[in-house]
A and B are shown apart, each in its own frame.
Chain A
Amino acid sequence: MTLQNCLILTLFLFAIGVYGVLTRRHLIGILLSIEIILNAANINFIAFARFTTADPTAGAIFPVFVMAVSACEMAVALAIIISMYRHRKNLDVRELEALHG
């Protein structure tokens, strides 16, 4: 297992995440894709910490923060999504175009 392998993995994960964000029509799906992107970043942190620095703890702390924050974010996002669903009975992003200019 080398740094390069890890980076390739995260690249794929990141790309899958971005693809998901751009193409998913359902809000929950987009949320999941964002989760994948975040996790790709987390793996990157850990990989760099493991292979390049002398003290890997500094790198390992970041994913913990990220996971904590993303958990909160998910909670908030889900709450919004649920209220939105109650409000509009629909979570298709193509219908949500309040930002239309």
Chain B
Amino acid sequence: MDGSTLLTSIWLLPFLTGMLIVPVGRANHQLIKKISLTGSGFNLVLIIWLTLLFAARVSLAETGVDTRYTVLYFTLNVPWFSMLNIAYNIGVDGISVLMLLLTGIVIFCGVLASWELKEQAKEFFILLNVLVGGVYGVFVSFDLFTLFLFYEVAVLPMYLLIGIWGTGDKEYSAMKLTLMLVAGSALIFAGILAMYYESGIASFDILKLSRIRFPESLQVWGFPALFIGFGLLGGLFPFHTWSPDGHASAPTAVSMLHAGVLMKLGGYGCLRVAMYLMPEGAQMWVEFFLVLVTINIVYGAFGAIRQTDLKYITAYSSVSHCGLVLFGLLAMTYVGLKGAVLQMVSHGLMTALFFALIGMIYSRTRTRQIHEMGGLMKVMPFLSVAFVIAGLTGLGLPGLSGFVAEATIFIGSFANANPINRICTVLAVLSIVISAVYIIRSANFAINGPLNEKFNALSDATLVEKLPIAILVFLICGMGILPGWIINLVNSAIEPIVNNVTR
């Protein structure tokens, strides 16, 4: 199978899996889950294969590559709607490969983590697969129209997934999340159409558009429209409020996927569409957004300090950490961008782990309030240790993935000589102390302390539950201890983007 076929099958496979589930009887939960697991597992194998192929190609092409322009691998460009120049234009660079890998891992673990799902499993897994198919589609598309199409496919099933299988005030959260994200989509679509018409070549091709210098009058509103549109999904302050409610209401696998992967679509879009295509606009707006994003980081961390619901704490920490992704992007330096990409991966793994653990703990204790827990280390050591590891990743402990990403972002951001960058970097670095406060606080309340007698009889994770946790912990440690392999993947992709952004 050549590379482009592989790419097509990667995004197609979840849809096929979803279709395979359709004829299965509603009550046959085991079969549904097995189909989903096989589908996502097989897809993960395909993605790993792709990654290996990609790594081989990149190391072959190490020398003599033109670093001015993005080089795509495994491309396929078939006209789809030729009247409007819409094409099925796929390909990958290092960032996309990494994102695909992250998605594959998170969904595989997500399916395992929702093994205990009882109600309406059929519909749940169909929607989940559709959603993942959309996410894969975004990461392989290099045509703005198809990218947007996949983006919508990825965002909309969220409404049903939260509204039906959620907990708490789920209808409200689902509605809020969907409406806010759709409002973002409207901004994105406006930006895309403006570029389509202003480019003069009536094309949706990202690579072609990246070589065009759009007039400043377009960029001055186009960039913020795109950046806010995608940033909404990336948890940009003050448009982040869907995130705490949405994550708190969503079922485990959806939280994992949403915080782990979908929020990365925001950062990915900001990078690939907003900044890459409108660099001059980015230069105009960078200081404004930098301040906004710094508020994001500090504010998210402070917001998490006073929360008492584990999911809210994690959701606010996601706001803070996704702020770091955007912060790295806005550093506009090679190191900063690289840090942002690393942070996407690291945060994806970390929140997936967090939400998986919270789901498992909740299914036992039936509460997510940290005050009502306590001493869980005694009854569920495996989950508790994993929780502490996830927490330590969040506060940027070296040896775990978070530190590699955060340190790279800070170094990259400090390298930008603009005083505002420097000041924001100082604030962002100091915010890691606040992260430490809320993480240690929640760990101390939930995991440590005297055991609540109610929980005496609770059991530790089952084998099916241990598997996703072990995979995620292993990858987090792997990325933290030996970051080299991930960095080698993205190195080649970052440079052309930086060159374009700072042109």
A and B directly contacting (CB within 8 A): no
Task: State the B residues within 8 Å of A (CB).
Answer: none
Residues of A within 8 A of B (CB): none
